[in-house]
């Protein structure tokens, strides 16, 4: 069997994707400098392609951080499309607000401030697309809420299911053991959902993709 996923191939593919957008480059640099975890570039591109293809009217994002992915999603939406995004960290909320304003997307991105556990039960309208990207220890509960809020034929997109490679590795550093165990358990639950058609793709840090049946 040919092995195509060597680091050199991944580097080659990355080098082909120069980012022409100034705000996006600025946010990537800010995130790298300040250790803010954001979607990898290849996952972000994949997310943009899905959003462009599907043209969801209502997107829910769990975990805004500095609004990097919110901005990338919002720019691919049609006229009537909107992103609702939830963030609990005050520092990130401040940065996200500034970045949303800088990108002139205040009319496309609605930022809910607080813990998704408190906010999600208050959301009454369903969503066409849900992006789960919060604390890994919160994934299972946020996923359960997401299933209630996702429309039939809607898509759920979950980041970090390969967790830097540790979910598929027998050698896990001690500081990642608990989070790896949590994601491994989540992956089993995700992949065996009866009401979702799912897959986990080796894109970026591992993307879980599911369509609600
Ligand atoms: C990985 S970052 C999100 C990155 C962002 N989606 C992007 O790609 O640009 C995760 C964010 O989720 C927030 N978060 C984690 N758990 C949360 C929860 N239960 N409710 C609200 N925000 C949460 C964290 O504060 C952090 O800013």
Structural domains for the chain: 15-212 (3.40.50.150)
Q: To 10 degrees, the CA torsion angle through 62, 104, 91, 32?
A: 80
Is the CB of 135 inside a 6 Å radius of any atom of ligand 1?
A: yes
Pocket test for ligand 1, best of 63, 89, 179 (most atoms within 8 A of CB): 63
From the CA of 39, give the closest atom in ligand 1.
8
Is the CB of 28 inside a 6 Å radius of any atom of ligand 1?
A: no
Q: What does the DSSP 8-state code read for residue 6?
A: -
pTM of the model: 0.94
Is the CB of 115 inside a 6 Å radius of any atom of ligand 1?
A: yes
Closest CA to 213 of 194, 200, 199: 194
Pocket test for ligand 1, best of 61, 70, 87 (most atoms within 8 A of CB): 87
Beta-carbon count within 10 A of 96 CB: 23
Residue 150's pLDDT is what?
98
**From CA 212, how far away is CA 128, in angstroms rounded?**
10
Helix (H), strand (E) at residue 42: helix 41-54
Q: Which residues contact 177 (CB under 8 A, 6 or more apart)?
A: none
Each of the 213 residues of the chain gets a pLDDT tens digit; together they read: 466 677 888 788 878 877 778 999 999 999 999 999 999 999 999 999 999 999 999 999 999 999 999 999 999 999 999 999 999 999 999 999 999 999 999 999 999 999 999 999 999 999 999 999 999 999 999 999 999 999 999 999 999 999 999 999 999 999 999 999 999 999 999 999 999 999 999 999 999 999 999
CA of 136 to the centre of ligand 1 (A): 10
């Amino acid at each position: 069997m040919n092995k195509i996923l060597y680091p050199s191939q991944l580097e080659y593919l990355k080098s082909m994707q120069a980012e022409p957008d100034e705000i996006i480059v600025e946010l990537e640099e800010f995130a790298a400098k300040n250790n803010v975890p954001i979607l990898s570039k290849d996952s972000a591109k994949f997310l943009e392609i899905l959003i462009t293809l599907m043209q969801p009217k209502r997107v829910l994002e769990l975990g805004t951080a500095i609004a990097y992915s919110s901005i990338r999603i919002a720019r691919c939406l049609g006229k009537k499309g909107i992103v609702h995004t939830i963030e609990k960290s005050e520092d990130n909320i401040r940065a996200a607000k500034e970045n949303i304003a800088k990108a002139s997307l205040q009319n496309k991105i609605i930022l809910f401030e607080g813990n998704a556990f408190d906010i999600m039960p208050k959301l009454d309208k369903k969503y066409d697309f849900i992006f789960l990207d919060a604390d890994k220890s919160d994934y299972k509960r946020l996923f359960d809420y997401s299933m209630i809020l996702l429309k039939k034929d809607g898509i759920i997109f979950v980041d970090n299911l390969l967790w830097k490679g540790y979910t598929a590795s027998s050698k896990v550093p001690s500081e990642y053991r608990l989070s790896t165990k949590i994601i491994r358990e989540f992956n089993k639950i995700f992949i065996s959902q009866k009401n979702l058609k799912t897959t986990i793709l080796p894109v970026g840090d591992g993307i879980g993709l599911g369509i609600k049946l």
